[in-house]
Amino acid sequence: MTLIKSISGIRGTIGGNVGDNLTPIDAVKFASAYGTWIKQQRDKDNYRVVVGRDARISGEMIQNLVMNTLVGLGIHVIDLGLSTTPTVEVAVPMEHADGGIILTASHNPKQWNALKLLDAKGEFLNGEEGAKILKLAEGTDMTFADVDSLGKITINDAYIDLHIDEVLDMDLVNVEAIKKVNFKVVVDGVNSTGGIAIPLLLERLGVHPVKLFCEPNGQFPHNPEPLKEHLTDLSKAVVKEHADFGIVVDPDVDRLAFMDEKGEMFGEEYTLVACADYVLSKTKGNTVSNMSSTRALRDITEKHGGTYEASAVGEVNVVSLMKKNNAIIGGEGNGGIIYPELHYGRDALVGVALFLSLLAEKKMNVSDLRASYPNYYMSKKKIQLTPELDVDGILSTMEAKYAHENLTTIDGVKIDFSDSWVHLRKSNTEPIIRIYTEAPSQNEADALANKIISEIKDIANI
């Protein structure tokens, strides 16, 4: 199967051979490298790391391996148990911890799991820090604690509630307006921790949640990536329940997508557009998203008098550019909302609260809200990689082929045409080339993607 080592952590499929998959030995090795890196950051008597997981079947096993490895390094662990990625990110600074680990493979299927690594600010590691950990994992320069200096594990299962408290305390979350509307919302929690956190948040906001796949047992009822083709059950439930809209999150609750009252997708690209529209209407400022995200965010930002810029793909890259540009909101077009008032991390709970505030104040339904935004259509396709494929060579050939167009090469190759674009890049989390396109119609977006895929296959002779 697969083991992917990157600056943001280690991700792989459970079982199989050491070094080729995410086996117990690999989990211990990378946890040891991370713990060693934590201790290298500063010399102190006590080190603390927050650990939480999504509801994957392998989660408890991997978490126990990781926590006890940290204990063996003399590091104290705050065990959040079933949690969300943004909840762990919020918990790290609240606990004055030295870092955090989230056990989740995000949108990957159930056979996958991963160690996502955080720094003392509760933010993902940058490239330099991640590279140090990968290097440590390759060697044996790791010293474990003696028997009198072992760490301890402290269980704290209150952090989802504390996270919700922080969300409701944000200045722009209009709790009173939301409660007056008496929204009814269907929640697809993909049988992971979103099924815990999102209904709790909605209830605190006076919203009636209708739970769909909200049992956190790790048995994903559909492909966990929140795309239209995976959400037919949610679409039917929204219509059947006469709900105001539907919510779907990925297994670790950092991606968020909405479905309108007719059971049609709002578009995960437009999650950030809508939340940014609300925030920018209240606070003037700039925005950032990654290169694979819709142009609609640029349009909305400029409408409100702000400046938009695009980063390389990856949350750490978006956050870095947001800090540089003092962006007041940003994120990724996959439904990831980053709102620095709370923390620099994608957070579906923040997105839900901002979206509900926008709807409550505008007094309009979700389909009308979507119709009020610039209309772009995206196609998201991929080509499976095999070991013999020269991906860099393929991208270089495509770059040369389209050298006469507006090109950006900070992350793969992005080709900007007058009314459309295509972004080609090797995924950091899966053995694939991603081909994202955007155009004024779905047919044009699909046709552009298919044209590019055909050209890549001709180059690669596949």
Active site residues: 106
Between CA 309 and CA 18 the distance in angstroms is 41
Q: Which residue has the tokens 């090109």?
A: 407
Q: What are the distances in angstroms from CA 102 to CA 23, 55, 208?
A: 17, 11, 29
Buried b (16+ CB within 10 A) or exposed e, 315-349: bbbbbbbbeebebbbbbbbbbbbbbeebbbbbbbb
Contact 80, 87 (CB under 8 A): yes
Pair of tokens at residue 127? 């490239």
Give the Cα separation of 200 and 342 in Å (integer): 18
d(CA 343, CA 123): 8
Question: DSSP readout, 189-219?
Answer: -TTSTHHHHHHHHHHHTT-EEEEES---SS-
Contact between 123 and 49 under an 8 Å Cβ cutoff? The reply is no
Pairing mode of beta strands 256-259, 245-249: antiparallel
Burial of 233 (0-12, 13-18, 19+ CB in 10 A): middle
Number of CB atoms found within 10 A of residue 45's CB: 6
Secondary structure, 3-state, 68-95:
HHHHHCCEEEEEEEECCHHHHHHHHHHC
> Beta strand 99-103 with 208-212: parallel, antiparallel or unpaired?
unpaired
Amino acid identity at 246: G
Backbone region of residue 18 per phi and psi (left: phi > 0; alpha: psi in -120 to 50; beta: other values): beta
Classify residue 322 by its DSSP letter.
H
